[in-house]
Amino acid sequence: MKRLIAVAAIAVGLAGCQGMAAKVSKLEVGTAREDVLDRLGPPDSDRSIIGFEVMSWLERRPGRFSFSHKDYTVVLKDNKVVQFGPGLVRRDSKTTLQIETGDP
């Protein structure tokens, strides 16, 4: 019985870790803004940069000593997704944005 409880707890924990990543990975370029909000919920930040709407979600994961986090960003133009994924957005030029993951 204790093993069953332990296995169930681990399964729930692993499912929670992939929550936001799994939701974001199911988005597609051209998805409507309303569908993004239905799938991901309200963003932690929503701002406008050079004509693009940039929405960000911060996935918080409890750790042993502190909370770790991963940022997920969705970039929209005319209420349609043009970019999405993990990372933060930066201006790539005067008219474009790029999501940077921070990975080398």
pLDDT of residue 75: 97
Tokens of 75: 């970039």
pLDDT at 69: 75
pLDDT confidence of residue 68: 67
**pTM, entire model:** 0.73
What is the rounded distance in angstroms from the CA atom of residue 27 to the CA atom of residue 91? 22
In this predicted structure, what is the pLDDT of residue 33? 98
CB-based contact 20:59 (threshold 8 Å): yes
∠ CA 30-39-72, rounded to 5°: 80
- The region, left, alpha or beta by phi > 0 then psi within -120 to 50, assigned to residue 26 is alpha
Report residues of the chain scoring pLDDT below 50: 6-9, 11-16
